[in-house]
Amino acid sequence: MDLNKNLEKYAELAVRTGINLKEGEGLIIAGNLDTLPLARKVMEKAYEAGAKHVEFQFNDDEMILIRYNKGKDFVFDNYPKWKVDALEAMYKDNYHHLFINAPDPELLKNIDGKLVARSQKAASLASAPIMQYRMTGFTKWTIIAMPSLPWARSVFPELSDAEAIEKLWEKVFEATRVDQEDPIKAWEEHDKNLKKYKSYLNEKQFDKLVLKGPGTDLEVYLAEGHLWMGGSKESQKGDSYVANIPTEEVFTTPHRLKVNGKIKATKPLSLNGKLVDNFGFEFKDGKAVDFYAEKGYEVLEKHMENDEGARFLGEIALVPDDSPISNTGILFNNTLFDENASCHVALGRAYAYAMRDGSKSTQEELSERGANYSLIHTDFMVGGPELEITAYEKDGTQVKLFEKGNWTF
């Protein structure tokens, strides 16, 4: 594997396909120390594309731990307003946002879950105004990932550090199609395929979906005027961009008050630096009225206490079991990858652009149509080779969408 060559291709894919950066636009890159080799190449590609300025915003895992271990109690109920103001000013000034994720899945495993929940809630409350820029397509944004040593160790604990890093790089490049001769062209073809499913679902405008599998029997009505999304999105200026690389999903908005039954996660979830495993929920009239978790119960409980909307669904996404990420046979311990290996749902906020005219609607209007609002948006995986999904038209006609974990057409 030629790592340097693939990094060049990965950076170009992020700038040209992910952000689709235009001449005269600005770019914000968010990353930690591990991301610097890729961030530098992204910066190079961005300036080659005509960026007016590229700003790298640095975060550090050790500094995050220092804050939790040494910060006074009041620290965790505060989030600097100037950070929100600065980001809003950049978004208004035609800057777009690339997040490079090099995670440690269990960074906060020894930190009090109550502190993590308080800190997350404070950050979410403060950042709510700027989230609208990304949720409505005003600002183009993309999330990509690259290996860190803790992440590689969590995925390949049986390998040496060097072997684990190399192996994870190989799998990341496979999942993102960077291992192909022309990743950008490969993504164009992939995007067309996702649009095929998206167009069919939008044409049908199904009334509800019923999911059945081991531990799962869930009825999900869809919001009024829901819109299926998949692959590239369109900004308010009409530019296409891909928010997640990789992405294998088509997704839409469930009705927040019309979800009933039980659902069991099929993969662990890395949440606030801790792992949640063997967990599931029971929903009644849209609300998660009961839940369980063999591991990470407390962190899940605190996460759902962020606000009232945290116990309702904001997304349902369809992903075939026979897909590049699933076929790696690997649990990535990273939601960006694992959610694209499996059908999933999300607790919390619905995306405005997954509703017809959603980007032009107020939150009140979206809520009236069934879209959920929350400070959080947390995906968890429910798909696998045994999942069956049946769609129902308004007249009761049934259409089998998924059988044995895959599309029926």
Kindly report, residue by residue over 374-399, the tens digit of the pLDDT.
989 999 999 999 999 999 999 999 99
Q: How far apart are CA 376 and CA 184, in angstroms?
A: 32
Pairing of strands 269-271, 274-284: antiparallel
Give yes or no: residues 274 and 321 share one domain.
yes
Give yes or no: residues 160 and 249 share one domain.
no
| Mean pLDDT of the chain, nearest integer | 94
Percent residues over pLDDT 70 in the chain: 100
pLDDT surpasses 90 at 323: no
Give yes or no: residues 160 and 268 share one domain.
no
Tell me 268's DSSP state. -
pLDDT surpasses 80 at 206: yes
pLDDT surpasses 80 at 272: no
pLDDT of 273: 73
pLDDT of 71: 96
DSSP string for residues in 1-43: --HHHHHHHHHHHIIIIII-PPTT-EEEEEE-GGGHHHHHHHH
DSSP string for residues in 132-185: HHHHTTSS-EEEEE---HHHHHHH-TTS-HHHHHHHHHHHHHHHTTTTSS-HHH
For the record, the structure tokens of 253 come out as 């908005």
In the chain, the number of structural domains is 2
In a domain, 46, yes or no: yes
pLDDT of 254: 98
Q: Which residues form the domain of 250? A: 205-238+245-407
In a domain, 55, yes or no: yes
Give yes or no: residues 353 and 212 share one domain.
yes
In a domain, 184, yes or no: no
pLDDT of 17: 98
The phi and psi torsions of 294 (rounded to 5 degrees) equal -70, -35
Confidence tier at 140 by pLDDT (50, 70, 90): very high
CATH code of the domain covering residue 85: 3.40.1830.10
**Within the chain, what is the greatest distance between any pair of CA atoms?**
60
pLDDT tens digits for range 141-151 = 999 999 999 99
Confidence tier at 23 by pLDDT (50, 70, 90): very high
Choice among 10-19, 84-93, 347-356 with the minimum mean pLDDT? 347-356
pLDDT of 324: 84
pLDDT tens digits for range 159-195 = 999 999 999 999 999 999 999 999 999 999 999 999 9
In a domain, 70, yes or no: yes
In a domain, 185, yes or no: no
Give yes or no: residues 88 and 140 share one domain.
yes
pLDDT tens digits for range 67-82 = 999 999 999 999 999 9
Give yes or no: residues 394 and 356 share one domain.
yes
Give yes or no: residues 130 and 209 share one domain.
no
Give yes or no: residues 259 and 136 share one domain.
no
For the record, the structure tokens of 243 come out as 């928010």
Percent residues over pLDDT 90 in the chain: 84
In a domain, 147, yes or no: yes
In a domain, 393, yes or no: yes
Average pLDDT over residues 207-215: 97
Residue 167, sorted as left (phi over 0), alpha (psi -120 to 50) or beta, turns out to be alpha
Confidence tier at 31 by pLDDT (50, 70, 90): very high
The phi and psi torsions of 384 (rounded to 5 degrees) equal 160, 180
Give yes or no: residues 219 and 352 share one domain.
yes
pLDDT surpasses 80 at 404: yes
Average pLDDT over residues 46-65: 97
Give yes or no: residues 54 and 156 share one domain.
yes
In a domain, 218, yes or no: yes
Give yes or no: residues 336 and 387 share one domain.
yes
Give yes or no: residues 210 and 292 share one domain.
yes
Q: How far apart are CA 388 and CA 273, in angstroms?
A: 32
Q: How far apart are CA 113 and CA 109, in angstroms?
A: 8
pLDDT tens digits for range 59-115 = 999 999 999 999 999 999 999 999 999 999 999 999 999 999 999 988 998 999 889
